[in-house]
Amino acid sequence: MSRATLAALAVSAALSVAPLAAARADTKVALTPQPDMTHQPVNITSETLTVKNADNKAVFEGKVVVTQGKMTLKAPRVVGHFHSDPATGKRSLTEIDATGGVFFDDTAEQATGRTAHYDVSSGKGTILEEVTLNQAGNESHGDRLDFDTVSGEGVMKGRTSTTFQPNSN
């Protein structure tokens, strides 16, 4: 094979891969900021609750609903992680892991996925696997959504697609 043929094949291969690489780029999404949310109490309801004091965990199962400010998270199973202050003996909820199919709603946006992680004190979270984000009828899909409820910034990662509706906000 000549050098010219090899060069042509290399250019052809590079051009055929370029659209794939561009399609996998991260997509920034603007979310509605809720800077006061991290100062709101967290309420959790479920059908069952198992407290694991030694592990600083609480396992909520069955139609779990977590609310904090205007945010609602629903899932079949949620594990709450606690931090114990040795000086005071008080516990505080620090993180939430939701599994089994999750639904996130903050009144302005709704998102779904297979699993979610949420840091209670920072307001930052991640929704993973088959993620759908709906914003006033506009819909984005991807493999992962990283979000910050305080700043209102989000990034959809993986193979993403978005559908924009006419005359939407």
Note whether 80 and 58 are within 8 A (CB): yes
Residues 101, 14: Cα–Cα separation, whole Å: 38
Q: Is 62 left (phi over 0), alpha (psi -120 to 50) or beta?
A: left
Asked, for residue 152, whether it belongs to a domain, the answer is yes
Mean pLDDT for 144-148 is 94
Domain extent, residue 83, equals: 26-163
pLDDT in the model for residue 43: 96
Candidate from 18-22, 31-35, 37-41 with smallest mean pLDDT = 18-22
CATH number, domain of 99, equals 2.60.450.10
Instruction: Tell me the average pLDDT of the chain.
Output: 82
Asked, for residue 158, whether it belongs to a domain, the answer is yes
Mean pLDDT for 35-42 is 80
pLDDT in the model for residue 136: 86
Domain count, the chain: 1
Task: Say if residue 76's pLDDT is above 90.
Answer: yes
Structure tokens at 88: 């005071």
Asked, for residue 73, whether it belongs to a domain, the answer is yes
Task: Say if residue 26's pLDDT is above 80.
Answer: no
Residues 101, 45: Cα–Cα separation, whole Å: 17
Residues 42, 144: Cα–Cα separation, whole Å: 24
pLDDT in the model for residue 104: 93
Task: Say if residue 7's pLDDT is above 90.
Answer: no
